Amino acid sequence: MPNFLSVPQPGGIAHGSVITFDFGQHITPGTGLVKIYSQAPGNTLLYAFNSASLIFGDTTLSLTLPATLDYGARFDLVLDRDVVKEDTGLPAGGRYVSFFEVEERPAPAQIQWTGAAGPDTIHGSTGVDLLQGGDGDDALYGHAGNDVLLGGASGPRGDTLYGMDGDDALFGQDGADTLYGGNGDDYLDGGDGNDALDGNAGDDELHGGNGNDTLTTAGGIHDILHGDDGYDNLYLYGGGGTLYGGSGSDFITILGSHSLAESIPALADGGDGDDYIQVQGRPDAGGVTVRGGAGRDTYATPLFFESEYLPTQVIITDFTAGADRATADTIDVRGMMPPDYTAGNPFGADGVLRLVQQGADTLLQIDRDGASGPAGYDNVMILQGVQRTALTAANFNYLSPDGGRAGITDNSEGHLDGTLADDILWGSSDHDHMAGFNGNDVLYGGDGNDEFKGGYGADTLHGGAGTDTARYDFDNDNPYTVLFGVDGSLYVMDRRNPADLDKLDGVERIVFTQDHRNATGIAYDVEGTGGDVFRLYLAAVGSAPATDIDRAVLGLMLKDADHGVPLLQLAHNIVASREFQDQHGQQPGSAALVTSLYRTALHREPDAAGLQYWSGLLDSKAIDAAGLLVSMAGSEEHHTLAATIIGSSFDYLASVPQW
């Protein structure tokens, strides 16, 4: 068995590096080959070298690796048994396999590199590098230096770009990409697709581009975030900067930690669309100014009640007052209430909120410990140019600013929130988001694919037509239990307070989530859209989702189907995936594809008539591989087989927005 004599440092195994094996005895060239295989599924043979391409010493064999291997590539190096010979003429040693696990370290010299088609892992140097992923789901590491990283066209998982140290420029380009700026003043551009951008330390500039993007920065002084097109999530943690939502209904969060570093200004501009802007945890010295822009915007300042600090004071420059729900902006006061608040309308005699006219502006003030406590009223928001008398219940989620009875009088919009009281909410004929908040509420979704949050209390959720979802958020361990009633309804009980028992009528999905990136869903529509999607997945793979990645893929398919993507298009997406091609072949013949899908969809070999029939349709172009997959998934035989696997429900991982 040969031993390594010299191996390049991790990060440098590629681009013409030389590796050497020592056999410990005199050797001569043999007739065998040295082979390089990928470690991707299928272990594809990349290169094969005969003795003419190898360097032989007295006891050593050396190989110059092809320059087309990427930095950070993982591959198997195989020496055939007869690649070298002993003096006796017999093969020296045996078959030897070496696994190269390359760590995230810089390349040995400054590089400009473009990956090949397919997934690449490319590491830059400590200098100024230009890394281009090309096609496929790539991972690019800039390391030190002011680097430029371009993801290129990606697959379903998207590219992952790490700027690391230095002032880097990262461009995700096509696909759903993930960009990490690292240290330094970085420029991140997601490009097309639903991207996730994290500037990290330094004064960063982030552009989401097209798609529904998530942008995050922390600790800078002059960070700039542009959501651009789409429904974006923008987060500024500590420090200061400017956040622009752009077009679309965006979610903007400015969060501080009360440190002296946060006594610097921050500005948020929602842009077009119905935006949600919240500011939390910054001292008064921070100075936060927000502008909602066009659309019906919502503002919030959640409080830390255990904190000694005064609440955030937010200046709103363009708040629209009035009773017209089509134009009126909203202040979400729910986060200002203590968790155990039960005094009804917070503007009432026993409440903690009040509105005060000060010149041309209106001040929203809070007395955090109520009339019986020692604290007085502090400013929470300043509504510039707004008369106190112009504010109505429409500006406060149906809470009357005069302290009167709370009530909901209009049910025509897609977002409908309850109050601190017992509410009845009626959805529209479209897709509604309905939240009961406190109280024992009754929510009617009506037509469309509706999403419910019952909130505190014992609530009744009526889904109506469409594929409806009940969502339950929690902080740590999931405290909820699903129960089945004798009437066929679902019930969800909060184990922390068993009296909070929600009844779900006509609700097909339940989602439990700690945050919008960590959500577990249960689908009960096994004879509806959910069942169709599960059977399509099952027909392609041959088994139920076994890992979180599998369940996440199923969740994305459900999301597409709920938004109207037909099964045939979902099947085309599956057929184009690397996983499908690894299982069924990259370009299988008609008979081979039919046989393979019979095995995954029906768990048997095809009969002669079936093989001839489906192969004939493929050969005549009457259907393609996606059409065959849909047909197999929709067959009565597969439906019967799938029923034993699905049962009455199935799990999936969901990605849900914050609202």
pLDDT per position as a tens digit, 493-519: 988 888 889 999 989 999 998 865 678
What is the pLDDT, as a whole number, of residue 427? 73
Residues in a beta bridge with 623: none
Residues 620 and 533 in one domain: yes
Instruction: Name the residue range of residue 67's domain.
Output: 3-100
547: left (phi over 0), alpha (psi -120 to 50) or beta: beta
The confidence score (pLDDT) of residue 326 equals: 84
* Pair (340, 393) in one structural domain: yes
Q: Is residue 10 part of a domain?
A: yes
Lowest mean pLDDT among 279-283, 320-324, 559-563, 608-612: 279-283
Q: Which residue has the higher pLDDT, 343 or 138?
A: 138
Check whether 106 has a pLDDT greater than 90: no
466 and 544 housed in the same domain:
no
Of 385-394, 453-462, 516-525, the one with minimum mean pLDDT is 516-525
488 and 584 housed in the same domain: no
Which of 100, 132, 151 marks a domain boundary?
A: 100
Residue 287 is assigned to a structural domain of this protein: no
Least confident among 72-76, 425-429, 440-444, 619-623: 72-76
Q: Residue 94's pLDDT is what?
A: 47
The answer on 456 and 346 residing in a single domain is no
My answer on whether 380 and 462 are in the same domain is no
Q: Quick one: pLDDT at residue 435?
A: 85
What's the pLDDT at 534? 96
Average pLDDT over residues 413-438: 72
pLDDT at 198: 95
472 and 380 within one domain: no
> Based on the domain organization, do 538 and 640 belong to the same domain?
yes
Q: Indicate which CATH number applies to the domain containing 534.
A: 1.10.3130
Give the range among 335-344, 544-553, 591-600, 632-641 with minimum mean pLDDT: 335-344
**For position 70, what pLDDT does the model report?**
56
> Quick one: DSSP state of residue 38?
E
The answer to whether residue 437 is domain-embedded is yes
433 residue type, one letter: H
For residue 282, name the pLDDT band (cuts at 50, 70, 90): low
Q: Is the pLDDT of residue 40 over 60?
A: no
How many C-alpha atoms does 72 have within 13 Å on its Cβ side? 22
Residue 122 β-bridge partners: 140
- Least confident among 77-91, 130-144, 212-226, 284-298: 77-91
Of the residues 55, 74, 100, the one at which a domain ends: 100
pLDDT of residue 586: 86
Residues 649, 536 share a domain: yes
Look at residue 604 and tell me if it is in a domain.
yes
Query: Of 227-231, 256-260, 324-328, which one has max mean pLDDT?
Result: 227-231
| CA 212/CA 516 separation, integer angstroms | 13
In a domain, 555, yes or no: yes
425 against 301, higher pLDDT: 301
Query: Does 536 lie in the same domain as 504?
Result: no
- Tokens 């609202």 locate to 659
**Cα–Cα distances in angstroms (integers) from residue 304 to residues 68, 278, 279, 285, 350, in the given order:** 55, 13, 12, 17, 21
Element (H or E) spanning 609, and its range?
A: helix 608-619
Answer whether residue 400 shows pLDDT above 60. yes
Among 570, 582, 628, 568, which Cα is nearest to 602's? Answer: 628
Confidence of residue 102 (pLDDT cuts 50, 70, 90): very low
For helices 529-541 and 548-562, angle between their N-to-C axes, nearest 10 degrees: 140
How far is the C-alpha of 595 from the C-alpha of 427, rounded, in Å? 48
Do 533 and 650 lie in one domain? The reply is yes
Return the pLDDT at 215: 94
What pLDDT was estimated at residue 91?
56
Percent of the chain scoring above 70 in pLDDT: 81
pLDDT in tens, 448-498: 888 898 888 889 898 888 899 999 988 778 888 999 888 778 999 988 888
Give me the pLDDT at residue 407, please: 46
What is the CATH number for 9?
2.60.40.1220
Q: Does 487 reside within a domain?
A: yes
In this prediction, residue 337 carries a pLDDT of: 76
Give the sign of the dihedral formed by CA 89, CA 92, CA 96, CA 100. negative
pLDDT score of 325 more than 90:
no
- Quote the pLDDT of residue 9: 40
Q: Is the pLDDT of residue 109 over 70?
A: no
- Most trustworthy range by pLDDT among 183-197, 274-288, 419-433: 183-197
Residue 562 has pLDDT above 50, yes or no: yes
Helices within 542-589 (DSSP H only): 548-562, 567-575, 578-584
Note whether residue 242 is domain-resident: no
Q: Considering the domain boundaries, does residue 234 fall inside one?
A: no
User: Residue 528 has what pLDDT?
Assistant: 93
User: pLDDT at position 367, please?
Assistant: 85
Q: How far apart are CA 29 and CA 26, in angstroms?
A: 11
Band (pLDDT 50/70/90 cuts) for residue 319 is very high
Please give the mean pLDDT across all residues of the chain: 82
**Count of the separate structural domains present in the chain:** 4
DSSP H helices in 424-547: 529-541
Residue 129 confidence (pLDDT): 84
pLDDT tens per residue across span 178-227: 999 999 999 999 999 999 999 988 899 999 999 999 999 988 888 999 99
Whether residue 643 sits in one domain with residue 533: yes
